[in-house]
């Protein structure tokens, strides 16, 4: 029984890792990168530390768990934009 639970947890962990890394290896278009900078209100010369700081501020503002009237669609856009910029800076 313990092995069955252990295997189930391992499978869930592997699926979660795949979902996390999905899309990180894809090439981002220049338009996606520019849209991400625009959403964060930053210039293309911003450092990754500035991007992270702005991301944290925006997620606090729009996170669905923090306020009952928050915009979850905007939160999803912010997260996607951060993923685009994160992969852009890793190059």
Tens of pLDDT, residues 35-89: 999 999 999 999 999 999 999 999 888 888 876 666 778 888 999 999 999 888 8
DSSP class of residue 22 equals T
- Topology of the domain covering 28-90: Helix Hairpins (1.10.287)
pLDDT of residue 53: 95
Question: Which SS3 state, helix, strand or coil, does residue 81 take?
Answer: helix
Q: Where do the structural domains in the chain lie, given as residue ranges?
A: 28-90
Is the pLDDT score of 19 beyond 60?
Answer: no
pLDDT, average across residues 10-35: 67
Residue 83 and residue 23 in contact, taking contact as beta carbons nearer than 8 Å: yes
In the prediction, which pLDDT does 55 show?
Answer: 94
Helix H or strand E encompassing 73: helix 72-90
Structure tokens at 54: 């702005």
């Amino acid at each position: 029984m313990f092995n069955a639970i252990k295997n189930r947890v391992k499978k869930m962990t592997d699926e979660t890792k795949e979902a996390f890394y999905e899309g990180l290896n894809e090439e981002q278009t220049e338009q996606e990168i520019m849209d991400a900078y625009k959403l964060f209100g930053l210039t293309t010369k911003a450092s990754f530390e500035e991007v992270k700081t702005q991301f944290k501020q925006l997620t606090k503002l729009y996170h669905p768990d923090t306020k009952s009237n928050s915009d979850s669609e905007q939160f999803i856009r912010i997260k996607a934009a951060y993923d685009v910029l994160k992969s852009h800076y890793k190059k």
